[in-house]
Structure 1
Amino acid sequence: MINQIHSNSDERMKTCIQTFQNNLNNIRVGRASPLLLHNISIEYFGSKTNLRQVSNIIVEDSHTLRINVFDQSVTPLITKAILNAKLDLNPIVNGKDIIIKIPVLTEERRKNLIKVIRHDAENSRICIRNIRRDSNDKVKRLIKDKIISKDEEHSAQIKIQKITNEYIKEIESILLKKERELMKI
């Protein structure tokens, strides 16, 4: 029962970390990366379709992405989706391809992006702490229902806290790495 609570907490905390990492991957750092466009979807034959399923995303150079579209009829949809994604990117249609020039980040924009990622990091920490609280409440219910002893409760809460501390440290290291990446010119 306690092991199930621990594994459930661990899985939920991993999900928080993955969400945080995905959010950071969407923040551009002034150089071309296909990750910038990974969350962009278009309406294709009546269903949401990821951009990667209807095109190839190629890095031309450090400041240029080329989207090689499989079906030319979706080119306007892709262009519109990129503009609506609010990534400050301006797609240029060039025949069958879409070219995206990645503008160099100004220092002011870099500082604003750092504020955004710090806010995301804090939201991720809150998510992890909420999971810890839920897990501790489950353990307390077990002691209240006399399924476990006080010693088992104490050791379970210590283990939950260790898991929490590990994930909080992981958030900090991911945040620090992204801040360094953003401030690098």
Structure 2
Amino acid sequence: GDLIRVPMPPMSEERRKEMTKIVRAEGENAKIAIRNLRRDANEAVKKLVKDKEATEDDQKRTEAEVQKATDKHIAEIDALVVGKEKDIMEV
């Protein structure tokens, strides 16, 4: 009694292509969000340096770490998008 089965016909080629476009768009939205977070973090560090609460060396080090994390997460998103596109295009 906990399971409901809904029969669904397989997607057409056209619908699969539409779904891959949606996946790419969502992946791009996720990458934009990550870039916005990077920008916010870099601005916060620059403000600390301006207020003399951190040194310029700290700023450079932090910006490098933030960029490394950004690159890592964008690569993960790219891998997920490619994998999902492959899943969708399978018949």
TM-score, length-normalised on structure 2?
0.95
Give the paired residue count.
Answer: 91
SS of match in other structure, 2:6: strand
- Corresponding residue of 1:130: 36
Between Structure 1 and Structure 2, whose CA radius of gyration is higher?
1
Structure 1: how far apart are the matches of 2:2 and 2:26?
29
Amino acid at match of 1:173: A
2:84 to 178, 181, 184: 178
Q: Which runs of 5+ in 2 are unaligned?
A: none
In the superposition, the TM-score normalised over structure 1's length comes to 0.48
Task: Give 4+ residue runs of structure 1 displaced > 6 Å after superposition.
Answer: none
What's the % identity of the aligned pairs?
Answer: 38
Partner of residue 10 from structure 2, selected from 101, 104, 107 = 104
Name the structure with the higher strand share. Answer: 1
Match of 1:153 in 2: 59
Q: Any gaps of 5 or more consecutive residues in structure 1?
A: 1-54, 58-66, 68-98
Task: Give the Cα separation in 1 of the matches to 2:70 and 2:84.
Answer: 21
- The offset of 1:115, in angstroms, is 0.5
Q: Within 5 A, what are the aligned runs for 1:1-185?
A: 56-57=2-3, 67=4, 99-185=5-91
Q: 2-side partners of 1:184 and 1:110: how far apart?
A: 9
- RMSD of Structure 2 on Structure 1 (CA): 1.1
Once the two structures are TM-superposed, the CA of residue 56 in structure 1 deviates from its matched residue by 2.5
